[in-house]
Copies of this chain bind each other. A is one copy, B any other.
Amino acid sequence: MTEKLDSIDLTILRILQNDSKKTNKEIATALNLTISPVYERIKRLENDGYIKKYVAVLDKKLLNYPVTAICMVSLRYHNEGFIDKFEQQIKELPEVQECYHMAGKVDFFLKINMKSLDHYHDFVRLKLSNISNIGVLESYFVLKEIKQSTEYVI
């Protein structure tokens, strides 16, 4: 494991989290380096876990997933076992893109993408409701996506 990242590492990460198709050559040029050190630093950043994965970001609208819901869930019981069980069940639902365990009145935030409100209705009725221990479930619908990114300000 590495201890610290220097400014070259950070620049590489900044470039890759914006466009992972940049070649080592392009990155090397931007950094006034040769290809080899860039190659080796990227390998190190991958192996040390700084870079988790490389993904293609798709267009939700074109793929016909226009409905996004934010769902706030509160559990009925809060024992460790119940919480772990809930988390496990949520992980297995591919429709749930994001899920966070929260501090405060609401226990979980979920972000869910759907083809239509009917699909969302079915999802809540057939899948979410099958998860026991849900006390309160409130759905909010997205009117417009202002911003969606995976970048960090590093």
Contact = CB atoms under 8 A, between A and B. Distances in A.
Contact of A141 (B65, B103, B140, B141): B103
Given A16-B56, A87-B146, 7 more contacts: A50-B62, A90-B147, A91-B147, A102-B140, A102-B142, A103-B142, A150-B150
Contacts of A98: 147-149
A50 to B, nearest CB: 5
Give me the 9 closest cross-chain CB pairs, A-B, nearest first.
A16-B56, A99-B146, A101-B144, A99-B147, A100-B142, A20-B56, A20-B54, A94-B153, A101-B143
Interface string A48-81: 1111111111111011010010100000000000
B144 A19 contact: no
A38 interface: no
